């Protein structure tokens, strides 16, 4: 470890002197650091092999899927004779998961520094009960043993419950609902709380895009999500104050198994709004180097109800793109992911003709004449002049480094959210609202070696944000910037029937919004942003300057007691 520090940090100091301090260059430095860590850190490695059989018949079980959730290695399947072998594993204690249809999931903590051969006997079961979660806890944990109430949405459930967006696919979960202001526009609620009180994650990375608004949805490709983990309760200890009501973690598919290239094509058609959905993906794994891409498209016409027929202003057109590359070795892993979300969504206003009760549309700024929308326009896929466009760009890197019997996890991401509302029919290129939000998130966790059964994690996470109003005519929030950091510590231990966990966290957030002034543009007649000018009476102040620092301390403790095989008692404070 000393060798790493002596080599890595002088490089960083020289780079800092030469490069300007911008988020882009900080990200470049981080990636270079990850490369150096993976180059210089040589961790002791081992392999694990064995045979998987039926406990009763002793027959081999081919096709059983073996994985290590904390290591994020691509899963391995047992061969026709039930044997398996996994190479380049670190010599640490970690959770092992074996799944097979018709059998109870095998879950166990394995010390890879001691065990190199492991034969597994699986019990038959109609219900595969033992699920493992990675959200809201420091290590991968069995669902039933986690003190905080959670719910898992499986890939099978998502395929069987088609929805217009990923949030609507979750509304059947007890305690989870959604606020929808139109097709493809939904925001999640957990036990009545939503917006900034719920934290949405994609692959464990915070998702940010004007979370306070309900006129646009979560900017994630629904065809990219394979599994969802929902924390139905406070998770602020691990994620900060924004996770007051809970956490929704949208998880993509695992990387392809070693030596394989996997492809998938998905097509979806919905009769009500004539929605056409298509997605194609390709993933590969060559000697631990993983790669993949997914491209998706959705478009829909106006939906129908039994009172109005087709409802004008409910069309949408969405395009998504995702690329990922990564490397998995005995020293850990390093993954890089880039995604683009682009959605054009109409804005319904519900206006109708007083005589025919048919829908009308705005064609002038004065809005004194509203022609009736014809049937061809209602059935088409063309987006109307009055609409909004939401674009979201995300790049993040997830890394894990094995250091002796410890593990260092680092996640860093950058996002850009652009939201524009076009509401001027005579000036279709001029947005009424245009918000640009830049977010830089970081999450660093150090997983200490297990001591007398205690698994302890210390870390810090937070983000930097900057919001700007661009060339527009409406201003609903000011230009602002914020930075927050939250160091925390969390520990847990398992006894025979009892699992206890507790931790604490300290949060600090600085917030500053600038004063904003507007002035009427003589050419268009709209109010536009301008500079402060006390001598000009036509300049109007929309927002005052504000700056403040917030801080707070929080703690949490919980336990799970196994009364019987099927009954557990949980408490969380």
In a domain, 139, yes or no: yes
Question: What pLDDT score was predicted for residue 18?
Answer: 44
In a domain, 287, yes or no: yes
- How far out from the chain centre does Cα 449 lie? 28
CB atoms under 10 Å from CB of 366, counted, come to: 8
Question: What pLDDT score was predicted for residue 75?
Answer: 87
In a domain, 105, yes or no: no
- By the 8 A CB rule, do 546 and 557 touch? no
Total number of domains constituting the chain: 1
Question: What pLDDT score was predicted for residue 361?
Answer: 92
3-class DSSP assignment, residue 209: coil
Question: What pLDDT score was predicted for residue 7?
Answer: 36
Question: What pLDDT score was predicted for residue 395?
Answer: 96
Phi first, then psi, for residue 162 (nearest 5°) are: -65, 140
Q: How many Å apart are CA 343 and CA 419, to the nearest integer?
A: 10
Question: What pLDDT score was predicted for residue 128?
Answer: 53
Question: What pLDDT score was predicted for residue 275?
Answer: 93
In a domain, 195, yes or no: yes
In a domain, 59, yes or no: no
- By the 8 A CB rule, do 59 and 22 touch? no
Q: How many Å apart are CA 473 and CA 421, to the nearest integer?
A: 10
Reading the chain (573 residues) residue by residue, the pLDDT tens digits are 444 334 333 433 444 444 444 444 544 454 455 445 544 444 567 889 999 999 999 999 999 999 888 888 888 899 999 999 998 888 888 889 898 888 888 888 898 988 999 999 998 876 655 567 666 676 777 777 777 778 888 888 888 887 888 888 888 888 888 888 777 888 888 888 888 888 899 998 998 888 887 777 889 999 999 989 888 877 777 888 788 888 899 999 888 888 889 999 999 999 999 999 999 999 999 988 999 999 999 999 999 998 889 999 999 999 999 999 999 988 889 999 999 999 999 988 889 988 999 999 999 988 888 999 999 999 999 999 999 999 999 999 999 999 988 899 999 999 999 999 999 999 999 999 999 999 999 999 999 988 888 889 999 999 999 999 988 999 999 999 999 999 999 998 888 888 888 899 999 999 999 999 999 988 888 988 888 887 888 899 999 999 999 999 988 888 888 887 677 788 878
Residues listed for the chain: 573
To the nearest 10 degrees (0 to 180), the angle between helices 2-18 and 23-40 is 150
- By the 8 A CB rule, do 334 and 409 touch? no
Q: How many Å apart are CA 117 and CA 564, to the nearest integer?
A: 31
In a domain, 499, yes or no: yes
- How far out from the chain centre does Cα 313 lie? 29
In a domain, 496, yes or no: yes
Q: Which residue has the tokens 């998502």?
A: 158
**Domain extent for 326:** 131-572
Q: What is the CATH number of the domain that holds 211?
A: 2.40.170.20
| pTM score of the predicted model | 0.83
CB atoms under 10 Å from CB of 80, counted, come to: 8
In a domain, 533, yes or no: yes
């Amino acid at each position: 470890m000393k060798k790493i520090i002596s080599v890595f940090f002088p490089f960083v100091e020289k780079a800092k002197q030469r490069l300007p301090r911008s988020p882009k260059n900080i990200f470049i430095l981080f990636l270079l650091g990850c490369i150096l860590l993976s180059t210089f850190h040589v961790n002791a490695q081992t392999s694990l092999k064995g045979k998987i059989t039926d406990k009763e018949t002793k027959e081999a079980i081919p096709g059983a899927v073996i994985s290590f959730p904390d290591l994020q290695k691509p899963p391995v399947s047992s061969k026709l004779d039930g044997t398996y072998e996994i190479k380049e594993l670190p010599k640490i204690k970690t959770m092992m998961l074996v799944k097979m249809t018709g059998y109870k999931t095998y879950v166990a903590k394995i010390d890879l520094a001691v065990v190199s051969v492991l034969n597994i006997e699986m019990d038959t079961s109609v219900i595969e009960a033992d699920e493992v979660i990675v959200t809201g806890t420091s290590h991968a944990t069995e669902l039933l043993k986690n003190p905080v109430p959670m719910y898992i949405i499986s890939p099978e459930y998502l395929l069987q419950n088609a929805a217009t967006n990923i949030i609507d696919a979750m509304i059947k979960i007890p305690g989870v609902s959604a606020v929808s202001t139109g097709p493809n526009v939904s925001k999640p609620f957990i036990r009545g709380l939503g917006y900034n009180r719920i934290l949405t994650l994609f692959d464990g990375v915070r998702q940010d895009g004007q979370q306070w608004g309900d006129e646009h949805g979560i900017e994630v490709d629904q065809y990219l999500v394979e599994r969802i983990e929902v924390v139905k309760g406070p998770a602020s200890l691990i994620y900060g104050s924004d996770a007051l009501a809970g956490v929704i973690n949208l998880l993509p598919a695992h990387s392809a198994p070693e030596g394989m290239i996997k492809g998938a094509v998905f097509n979806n058609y919905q009769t009500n709004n004539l929605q056409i959905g298509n997605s194609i993906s390709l993933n590969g794994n060559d000697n631990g180097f993983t790669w993949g891409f997914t491209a998706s498209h959705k478009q829909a016409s106006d939906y129908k109800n039994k009172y109005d027929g087709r409802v004008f202003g409910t069309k949408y057109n969405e395009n998504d793109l995702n690329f990922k590359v990564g490397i998995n070795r005995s020293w850990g892993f390093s993954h890089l992911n880039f995604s683009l979300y682009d959605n054009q969504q109409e804005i319904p206003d519900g206006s109708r003709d007083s005589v025919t009760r048919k829908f009308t549309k705005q064609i002038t700024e004065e809005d004194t004449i509203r022609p009736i929308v014809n049937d061809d326009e209602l059935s088409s896929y063309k987006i109307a002049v009055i609409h909004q466009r939401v674009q979201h760009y995300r790049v993040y890197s997830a890394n894990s480094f094995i250091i002796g019997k410890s593990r260092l996890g680092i996640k860093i991401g950058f996002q850009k959210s652009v939201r524009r509302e076009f509401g001027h029919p005579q000036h279709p290129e001029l947005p009424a609202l245009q918000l640009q939000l830049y977010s830089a998130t970081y999450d660093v966790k150090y997983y200490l070696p297990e001591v007398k059964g205690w698994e302890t994690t210390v870390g810090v996470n937070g983000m930097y944000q900057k919001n700007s109003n661009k060339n527009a005519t409406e201003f609903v929030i000011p230009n602002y910037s914020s930075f927050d950091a939250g160091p925390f510590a969390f520990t847990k231990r398992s006894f025979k029937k009892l699992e206890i966990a507790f931790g604490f966290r300290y949060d600090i957030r600085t917030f500053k919004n600038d004063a904003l002034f507007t002035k009427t543009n003589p050419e268009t007649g709209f109010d536009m942003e301008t500079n402060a000018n006390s001598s000009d009476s036509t300049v109007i102040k929309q927002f005052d300057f504000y700056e403040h620092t917030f801080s707070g301390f929080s703690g949490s403790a919980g336990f799970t007691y196994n009364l019987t095989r099927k009954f557990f008692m949980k408490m969380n404070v």
